Homo-oligomer: A and B are copies of this chain.
Amino acid sequence: MSEDRATRGSVRTITDLARLAGVSPGTVSRALAGKSLVNTKTREKIEAIAREHGFRPNQMASGLRRQKTGVIGVVIPLGHDTRQQISDTFFMTLLGFLADELTLEGYDLMLRRVVPKDDADWLDRFIGSGMIDGVIVIGQSDQFDRIEDVADGYGPMVVWGNHAEGQRHCVVGTDNRLGGRLAAERLIAAGARRLAFLGDTTAIEFAARFAGAQDVAQRMGLAPIIELPTHLSPERASDEIARHLDAVKGRVDGIFAATDTLAALCLTALRTRGVAVPDDIRLIGFDDLPIASHTVPPLTTVKQDIAAGARGLVDLLLRRLAGEQTESLVLPPQLVVRQTA
């Protein structure tokens, strides 16, 4: 280990190493890449020298030459809610799983957070940078059309989000509409009749959840579900939720929150108002984040399988990288009944 350090620096390129080994750069390249036939003794000698000097071939040069980088871009567009959506627990968890899956496949991960409002060109810029072999977009935000535009001309892209009939970009995501139906059905089964939806329906995933819930309300002959828009960040959402609750006081007995985070905030706000959950108001979340099982009472919610989502994203991307055409992957949500509905 310490001799690594002492000699590091003397061998910076494959050519340096070649000189030391008394062979040509080409041979070193072949030996280190582990491909082509190279004499075993030559290979061992080269590997020994490389190890001794802590030499590692420059990935940029290699990438340039081979026209591939070994890097997958992961981009999170912050559309409708600029500030720090990147710390959203769901996306961060998905990112963690993505990192695992990509590492497993030998790819590096380049993370980019973009604000489409300030940078209309965000997706083309990333793709055109030459730094990535493919891109995973986490969340369609309000950028559905922009993504559609790009999908026609660029193959290796997979998006986490909502699937719409006839869309052109390959998407992996939960069946949000079905999830919305499950949520509304559960609220109603728990005795709710006057429903509200907590969350910003300009986000397409949320719109689908809302639509699914509305389907059920209509089918059951209930009043239309009231929309209570909020931001996603806890700081802003807390105030908004408080105001909403005061505004609809006594007119709502079931709340479907677009995410568990919002549901948890809502639960706190309800408690401070002395509203009993689930007796006065039933509450259901979405995601099944760790927090859901630790609220008081524990949160009933609609689970998304994040690990499966990450696996799906990477799997589809690799197949597209290999030139395959791929269908979108729609994952089934799952109702998790705890104690708030």
Residue positions of A touching B, CB distance < 8 A: 1-2, 4-5, 8-9, 54-61, 63-64, 69, 71, 74, 84, 86-87, 89, 92-93, 95-97, 99-100, 103, 108-113, 124-125, 128-131, 149, 152-153, 234, 261, 264-265, 267-268, 271, 290-291, 293-296
Contacts and interface: CB of A to CB of B under 8 A. Distances in A.
A96 B86 contact: yes
27 contacts: A2-B149, A5-B153, A8-B153, A56-B125, A56-B129, A56-B130, A59-B129, A60-B69, A60-B130, A64-B64, A84-B97, A84-B100, A86-B96, A87-B97, A92-B95, A99-B111, A99-B112, A100-B113, A108-B111, A108-B112, A109-B110, A109-B111, A109-B112, A110-B110, A264-B294, A295-B296, A296-B296
A203 to B, nearest CB: 18
A61 B5 contact: no
Contacts of A87: 92-93, 96-97
Nearest to A108: B110
Contacts of A84: 96-97, 100
* Copies of the chain in the assembly: 2
Nearest to A307: B84
Nearest to A110: B110
A137 to B, nearest CB: 15
Contacts of A55: 128
Contacts of A110: 71, 108-111
Which 5 pairs across A and B sit closest by C-beta, in order of nearness? A58-B130, A56-B128, A92-B92, A87-B96, A86-B96
A152 B295 CA distance: 47
A96 B78 CA distance: 12
Contacts of A58: 64, 129-130
A122 to B, nearest CB: 11
A131 B69 CA distance: 10
A205 to B, nearest CB: 20
Contacts of A112: 99, 103, 108-109
A275 to B, nearest CB: 14
Contacts of A290: 234, 261
Nearest to A121: B54
B131 A59 contact: yes
Given A109-B111, A112-B109, A99 B86 contact: yes
Contacts of A56: 124-125, 128-130
Given A89-B89, A294-B264, A130 B59 contact: yes
A102 to B, nearest CB: 9
A180 B155 CA distance: 52
Given A108-B131, A111-B111, A290-B234, A149 B86 contact: no
Contact of A113 (B59, B64, B99): B99
A109 B2 CA distance: 29
A119 to B, nearest CB: 10
